[in-house]
Amino acid sequence: MDLQSLLFMFFGGLGIFLFGIKFMGDGLQKVAGERLRDLLDKFTTNPLMGVIAGLFVTVLLQTSSGTTVLTIGLVNAGFMTLKQAIGVIMGANIGTTVTAFIIGIDISAYSLPIIALGAALIFFLKNKKFNNYGQVIFGFGALFYGLELMGEGMKPLRELEAFTELTLSMSETPLLGVLIGTVFTVLVQSSSAAIALLQQLYEQGAMGLDSALPVLFGDNIGTTITAVLAAIGASIAAKRAALTHVIFNLIGTVLVLIVFPLFLNLIEFLAVQINLNRPMTIAFAHGIFNVSNTLIQLPFIAVLAAIVTKLVPGEEYSIEYKTKHLDPRFIGSSPAIALGQAKQEVLRMADFSEKGLFEVSQYLRNGTKRHAEMAVQFEEAINNLDRKITDYLILISSRSLSGPDSKMHSMLMDTVRDIERIGDHIENIVELKDYQKANKVNLSETAMSDLQEMFDLTISTLKEAVLSLDKVDGDMARSVIEKEEMIDRMERKLRKQHIQRVNEGQCSGSAGIVFVDIVSNLERIGDHAVNIAEAVISEDH
């Protein structure tokens, strides 16, 4: 076979393998109901649970990089602490070994019938559930078919003197193998593909176990680059999570290289005792390495967190998005106390809306992405509290409530809904600013000055509404209604002024749309602040 055919087979096989892994992972997510984020959110209460959650999600995603990126997203949004993230990252490293074990089960001869079965389920059945299973099966078959093509394309390598010398050098200098494994994984952006390639080379006798294992360790380091790229421009906590992934794999590699002869002997011993085929030998080595690395470093999560905190300095503002006051025990024993607890949580939710509105005003002013990220974090925290508080208040409503308690219950239900809508308007303004930046829409200095004036008035009105809720102060609530009337007047005036600027050519039509939509969102926030104030007035009577 000529060189061109071999190259086509190798790169085509690599492409089909990567597609198979991705397609299978997407199908598994659909089968699992796409609740991976919730799984990571709920089951990371301690490091061990984090490891288990990370392992499970990686098996579903079929990529440790995907799990790590998802985790970084949760850390970036303030939904997960650094220590929780470290546990998940450790679990992801174990989960990624599953692909190597799947490859170790040599069923490449049946890859085409498996693809045909998957395609039949996708194209000939109307049922969505069967379509999802078909996607998993098709991806599974494509994985093995791609692997077979890669193997065919690499067969001549063992005949090349240069490759033989390279593998000999890797067995004599394990660090060289680590470097090669790292670089290759960085290039293909998939440790699963790099390890599958290694399994093929070892199966064909193109390299010995003593040169294959260092490459395997390098593959583990190379897979961290995806997390590092995902953390660029993210929060400090997200950068720390990505760095933890790198340090975790580096420490594991250093430890195993120190005892490399012992590790090599252990794998050779297991291969003989369990009668492992050559690809499965690599899979076992990968599994033992990652499980051992996790077990060794799991007790030192706090130390790892301290190290990365030193290496990535800076104060990280963390939003405590989980509820603090909603104790279900009070619902049965004292609904009045439970209502007091719910009110404290509503005030936290309202505080998030104030802070989110301030962040979006800063984003509008200077366009710094960090302010947009913070505003979105606050909006997500508001949504989370909305669900939790509403569920809690519904449980309270099933109890017998006194007249005043019943009024307070209604006020809190209405207020939660209004605050959640304020969060939506905050998100709308972030999107409008994103649109302005992306499309290079210029707002005149006068327009920006007018917007800031309206922002200041709206923030002041919202703050007073929240304070009136806290104090149950009717006079303060009536002041909110007066301020909101000022917001309404300002909205009408600003609309007219901006239309005039557009007509005079000072602002473009696109700028007019952005300006008017931001003003409209601020006016709606003012309306919701009034709703809160009116609920307080009703409660105060």
In sequence order, the 6+-apart residues with CB closer than 8 A to the CB of 71 are: 40, 54, 80, 85, 88, 89, 92, 241
Between 47-61, 124-138, 500-514, the lowest mean confidence (pLDDT) is in 500-514
Q: What is the pLDDT of residue 426?
A: 93
Q: What is the pLDDT of residue 262?
A: 92
Q: What is the band of 422 on the pLDDT scale with cuts at 50, 70, 90?
A: very high
Q: In terms of DSSP H, where are the helices of 298-402?
A: 301-311, 329-333, 335-366, 369-397
**The pLDDT of residue 1 is above 60:** no
Measured between alpha carbons, how far is residue 94 from residues 15, 52, 173 in Å? 24, 9, 26
Spatial separation of the C-alpha atoms in residues 299 and 93, rounded to whole Å: 16
Dihedral over Cα of 229, 234, 240, 245: its sign: negative
Spatial separation of the C-alpha atoms in residues 96 and 67, rounded to whole Å: 10
Spatial separation of the C-alpha atoms in residues 319 and 379, rounded to whole Å: 11
Give the other-Cβ count within 10 Å of 144's Cβ.
Answer: 25
433-439: Cβ within 8 A, 24+ apart: 433/360, 433/363, 433/364, 433/367, 433/372, 434/372, 435/514, 436/511, 436/514, 437/367, 439/510
Between 79-83, 130-134, 241-245, the lowest mean confidence (pLDDT) is in 79-83
Span 152-208, pLDDT tens digits: 776 666 566 665 666 667 667 778 888 888 887 777 767 777 788 788 778 877 778
Q: What is the band of 417 on the pLDDT scale with cuts at 50, 70, 90?
A: very high
Q: What is the pLDDT of residue 37?
A: 60
Spatial separation of the C-alpha atoms in residues 412 and 14, rounded to whole Å: 57
Span 269-312, pLDDT tens digits: 988 888 888 888 888 998 899 899 989 988 888 888 888 888 87
Q: What is the pLDDT of residue 201?
A: 79
Question: Greatest CA separation found in the chain?
Answer: 92
Spatial separation of the C-alpha atoms in residues 350 and 377, rounded to whole Å: 14
Residue with tokens 């559930």: 129
**The pLDDT of residue 102 is above 90:** no
Identify which of 320, 307, 319 has the alpha carbon closest to the alpha carbon of residue 241.
307
Span 439-491, pLDDT tens digits: 887 777 888 888 889 999 999 999 999 898 888 888 888 888 888 889 888 88
